[in-house]
Amino acid sequence: MRISVIILFTCLVVQSVAFNGKEKADNFTQQIVTVGLRDADINGSDNMAIQAAVDLLFYRGGGTVKILPGEYTLYNSVYLRSNVNIIGDRESTILKRCPAVSSKLLVDADVFEKQIIPADPSLFKVGMGIVCRSNNLMNAMITAPLTIAGIENGKLYVNDYIPFDFTAILDSQGKGGYDGLVANVFPMLLGNRIENVIVDGLTINSFTKEDPGWQNVRTAGIFFGTCKNSVIRNVKVSNTQGDGILIADASFNITVENCESSDNTYHGIHPGSHSTSVTVKNCHFHHNGSDGIYICWGVKNSFFIENDVHHNGTRKIGKRNGISIGHKDTNNIIEGNHIHENAISGIHFRTKTEANGAHNNVIKGNTIENNGLPGHTDRGYGIFISGITHDILIGNNIIRETRQEDSRLQKNAIVLSPGVSRVQIINNEMSGHPEENVVDKSK
């Protein structure tokens, strides 16, 4: 059975691309492979065409995949490989996701199994990226989908072990179980333990009008985990059920520049999980459900410079901010950004203990204005520092409220909560706030 499944999968991959070998030999000697709807080294309109080019260059020692203008539908993540770049035309190379499908589990999907039995297997196809969920494991971030390697007798055979136990409904009334299901949710571009990669010039649109099957589904448009020495440049990411760009799992020396991330249900960009030396510059983060820039856990020695951050934090649950910083996020520089019209605060320091605080950070040369959005809060702030936080420099910023009358919801320029200490506030221009510019509750 397994042999026939592998043959079926291989045949489908071959059928999905047309490789024009001899006449394109010069491209291979230069380590460039083109992918396109037609007249390319590899012809195809889905993730398997792009993946074939990435894998080919990886086994040849590296190179560049050039995706020609057109729309490409992803049924699974494009798995990035070390030393293989992906470039396109930012406005006309468009990666979009397939319609979302989901089905209740007919049988429990157990840890270390490699088969999943959905109630409706007809919804799924070989090569599709899928995950299981049940209400005891509902909101975990989806960064490692399984791939369907074969379908037979109503069973989905996957390429790796199921990571947790997912329990199906136990009776026809839905009692006694965890309402388990399987759905095709995945990051659009997925880099795991890779290095020396450039992603340049793509539009990534994860929009799907179909319900993926559960509330608060979270994945990423682009996910880098335990990656180093890589660049994301000139990329537009939107409509992700989760974060636009997620950099996690102790990644090192990642640069994100000239990108736009918008209309994602959670954060515009989310560096975290003890990633260091991250640079985010000249980017545009707007209209995201949670924070525009969410500096998560243990981000150190990183730079957030000259970004435009606005209209973020407007989800119905958990109103958020332009930039959020908190758990062990130390020795970072936030400089030269325009941070405006976010749901509550321009910059928010989260509440942490002294051992876990966001200490030794610099906020300088930013324009922070008009935060606090009508319909989302009645009190906004320029910079709000909470927790047992110390050694913060706030210098040479313009912090102002320029709206009129009752629209002036950025009540204060800077608020220091109890427990905050050793904050230097130097040479800032603060104006237009309906209350005092600086509120010091730290004593």
- Rounded distance, CA 387 to CA 253, Å? 28
Domain boundary (147, 163, 183) is at: 183
- How many structural domains is the chain composed of? 2
Q: What is the pLDDT of residue 173?
A: 60
**Per the structure block, which two tokens stand in for 127?**
């090569």
Same domain, 137 and 72: no
Q: What is the pLDDT of residue 171?
A: 59
HEC sequence for 5-50: HHHHHHHHHHHHCEECCHHHHHHHHCCEEEEECCCCCEECCEHHHH
Classify residue 3: in a domain, yes or no.
no
Burial class (CB in 10 A: 0-12, 13-18, 19+), 350: buried
| Nearest Cα residue to 106 out of 93, 92, 124, 88 | 124
- The stretch 182-203 carries a mean pLDDT of 97
Same domain, 126 and 210: no
- Rounded distance, CA 96 to CA 98, Å? 7
CATH of the domain at 150: 2.40.30
Q: What is the pLDDT of residue 238?
A: 98
Q: What is the pLDDT of residue 172?
A: 58
Q: What is the pLDDT of residue 51?
A: 98
Q: Which amino acid is at 377?
A: T
Which residues have CB under 8 Å from 123's CB, separation 6+?
101, 102, 103
Beta bridge partner(s), residue 423:
392
Summarised one tens digit per residue, pLDDT across range 93-149 is 999 999 999 999 999 999 999 999 999 999 999 999 999 988 766 667 899 999 999
- The mean pLDDT value of the chain amounts to 91
Phi-psi region of 267 (alpha: psi -120 to 50; beta: other; left: phi over 0): beta
Classify residue 14: in a domain, yes or no.
no
Classify residue 5: in a domain, yes or no.
no
Summarised one tens digit per residue, pLDDT across range 295-344 is 999 999 999 999 999 999 998 777 799 999 999 999 999 999 999 999 99
pLDDT of residue 10 exceeding 80, the answer is no
Backbone φ, ψ for residue 56 (5° rounding): -60, -50
Q: What is the pLDDT of residue 217?
A: 78
Same domain, 111 and 227: no
Classify residue 8: in a domain, yes or no.
no
Domain boundary (128, 158, 183) is at: 183
pLDDT of residue 28 exceeding 70, the answer is no
pLDDT of residue 277 exceeding 90, the answer is yes
Q: How many CB atoms lie within 10 A of CB 311?
A: 18
Classify residue 1: in a domain, yes or no.
no
pTM of the prediction? 0.92
Q: What is the pLDDT of residue 21?
A: 45
Look up the domain containing 48 and give its range.
19-97+185-440
Same domain, 335 and 420: yes
- The stretch 22-35 carries a mean pLDDT of 64
Lowest pLDDT segment from 2-11, 138-147, 325-334, 423-432 = 2-11
Domain boundary (141, 162, 183) is at: 183
Same domain, 84 and 177: no
Same domain, 75 and 124: no
Concatenate the DSSP letters of all residues of 124-188 into one string: --TT-EEEEEBTTB-S------EEEEEEETTEEEESS---S-BPPP-STT--SS---EEE----S
**Per the structure block, which two tokens stand in for 443?**
């004593």
Classify residue 237: in a domain, yes or no.
yes
How sure is the predictor about 16, in pLDDT bands with cuts at 50, 70 and 90?
very low
Classify residue 230: in a domain, yes or no.
yes
Same domain, 115 and 210: no
Classify residue 58: in a domain, yes or no.
yes
- Rounded distance, CA 367 to CA 327, Å? 25
Same domain, 304 and 417: yes
Same domain, 168 and 190: no
Same domain, 292 and 242: yes
CATH of the domain at 208: 2.160.20.10
> For residue 218, how far is the Cα from the chain centroid?
9
